[in-house]
Amino acid sequence: MTKDTLLLSLESDADLKQAATLLSAGKLVAIPTETVYGLAASAHDDNAIKGVFAAKNRPSDHPLILHIGQFSQLADWVIDVPASAKLLAEHCWPGPLTMIFNKAPGVSGLITGGRDTIAIRMPDKTRLRQLLSVCGPVVAPSANLHKKISPTCAQQVMDGLNGRIDAVLDGGDCHLGLESTIVDLTVLPVRILRAGPYYAEQLAAIMGENVVLPSSHDVAVAGNMPAHYQPNTPASLFTRQALEANILKRECNGPTLAIIHMSELPLVRLNNASIHSIKLSTQREKYASQLYQALSQADRMNCDEIWIEQPPYEWHEVIDRVSRACFKA
Ligand code: TXA
Ligand code: MG
C-alpha cells in the first residue's frame, strides 16, 4: 500500500500541530532530532508501532527507543530511576544519550522486543520536545530502511521511506549526524551498548562509576547487527597506506571509486572521471557528523565501489559505524 507522504516543517506552528494530530491518530511521522531523523509513532498505540516495523522492514524483536519530551514522562515507563540515571539525565538530557531501564509493567512488548528493559531518551530540539509534550512519548527508530544508512536530512528520509509513511517533519540537517550513545544502567558495571556522541569516559566522570565499552559485534542486543548503516554501493575499509598504494597501482580502466578519507591523498589522481574524493574532517566530532552524509553522497555518485580510509581506532562510535557499513557476509 502506498501512502501520500506529506512534507511538513518543524518551524511552522500549523505543521507542528498537524504532526501532533497525525501521531495522536496512530500515523507515522519522521521527526528531526539532533542525532538522526527518527520514524515516530505514538508509544501508546500498538498498531502504529507495528506500522513502524512494517515501514522499515525491521525484524519485530529489535527493540525501539522511547522518546520523551519532559522528565516527568519517564515515571510512566520505568520501575525505578536509579541515582546514576538521575545524574546522567541532569548532565546529558536533553541530548544524545539513551538509557536502558527496567520497564514498568504494562509497557508494550512491541516496544521492548519482549524484554524486561526499555530504552529511553530525551532529544535535544526544543520544538520537537514541545510536540512530544502535546502528543505524548513516541517510539522512534532511525528513519531508514532496515540495515541502510541513517538519514540526517529530510530528503534522505524521503529517498528511503516516501510512500511508506504519513509525513516527514523537516527540521533541517541533524547537527550531530550519528545515533545516540546507549548505556545500560540495569547491569553492573554500567555498560555501553552502542558508542555515540557521549563517550564512556564522559559518562564515567559524571557518575563516578566504571563504564564498560561494547565489545565489537558480540553484545547480545537485537539490532546490533554486523551489517548495518550500509550504502547500496559496496564499501571497503583500508589503512591510509593501503589506500594510497591501491590508488597508485590502480589500472586506468579499473572500477570507478568514491573515496572517503581524512588524510591528504595523492590528489592529482583524485576527482577525475573515475575517482571521486570526499574529504572529511580530522576532528572526531566533526568527522562523526559528516560520515552518513558522506556515505549517502558516495552512493549518489553511482561508482562501482566506495573506499573508506580507516579512522583512528580510539574513535569508537565512528569505527562501529564504518565497520558495519563495510561488513560483508
Ligand atoms: O539517536 C538515536 O538514538 C536515534 C534517534 C532517532 O533518536 N534512534 C535510533 O534508533 O538510533 P534505532 O532503532 O535505529 O536504534 C535503537 C537501538 C537498537 O540497536 C536497539 O537494539 C537498541 O537501541 N535498544 C532498544 N531498546 C533496547 C533495550 N531494551 N535493550 C537493549 N538495546 C535496546
Ligand atoms: Mg537505526
pLDDT tens digits for range 65-102: 999 999 999 999 999 999 999 999 999 999 999 999 99
Atom 15 (ligand 1): residue with closest C-alpha? 141
- Residue 12 is predicted with a pLDDT of 98
| Angle of CA points 95, 148, 107, to nearest 5° | 55
The Å distance, Cα 251 to ligand 2 centre, comes to: 37
**Alpha carbon of 75 to ligand 1 centroid (Å):** 20
223 lines ligand 1 (CB under 6 A): yes
Residue nearest to atom 24 of ligand 1 (CA): 63
Of all atoms in ligand 1, which is nearest to the CA of residue 62?
21
Spatial neighbors of 183 by CB under 8 A, at least 6 apart, are: 88, 97, 98, 99, 100, 190, 191, 192, 193, 198, 203, 211
Residue nearest to atom 22 of ligand 1 (CA): 63
C-alpha cell at 252: 586506468
Q: What is the distance in A from the centroid of ligand 1 to the CA of 264?
A: 35
Cα torsion 58, 64, 67, 73: sign: positive
Ligand 1 binding pocket includes 95 (Cβ within 6 Å): no
pLDDT at 118: 98
As a dihedral over the C-alpha atoms of residue 77, residue 81, residue 84, residue 90, rounded to 10 degrees, the angle is 70
Residue 49 alpha carbon to ligand 2 centre in Å: 15
* Residue 104: per-residue pLDDT: 98
Q: Which of 77, 92, 97, 98 to mutate to test ligand 1, by most ligand atoms within 8 A of the CB atom? A: 98
User: Minimal CA–CA distance to 176: which of 317, 278, 28?
Assistant: 317
Whether the predicted model's global pTM rises above the 0.85 cut? yes
Which residues partner with 325 through β-bridges?
A: none
**Binding site membership of 222 for ligand 1 (Cβ less than 6 Å):** yes
Closest CA to 282 of 304, 256, 264, 302: 264
**Which of 182, 183, 184, 198 has most ligand 1 atoms within 8 Å of its beta carbon, as the pocket-test mutant?**
182
The residues near 284 (Cβ < 8 Å, ≥ 6 apart) are 312, 315, 318
Using the mean position of ligand 1's atoms as its centre, give its distance from the Cα of residue 120 in Å.
Answer: 9
Q: Say if CB 117 and CB 20 are below 8 A apart.
A: no
CB of 62 within 6 A of ligand 1: the answer is yes
Pocket test for ligand 1, best of 99, 107, 179 (most atoms within 8 A of CB): 179
What does the pLDDT read at residue 246?
A: 87
Do residues 169 and 10 lie in contact, with contact meaning Cβ atoms separated by under 8 Å? Answer: yes
Residues of the chain falling short of pLDDT 50: 217-220
Centre of ligand 2 from the C-alpha of residue 274, in Å: 32
For 196-251, where are the alpha helices, taking DSSP H only? 200-207, 240-248
Nearest CA to ligand 1 atom 10: 141
pLDDT of residue 92: 98
- Name the residue with the closest Cα to ligand 1, atom 12: 141
Q: In whole angstroms, what is the distance from residue 234 CA to residue 311 CA?
A: 18
Q: From the alpha carbon of 143, which atom of ligand 1 is closest?
A: 6
- What is the number of the ligand closest to the CA of 180? 1
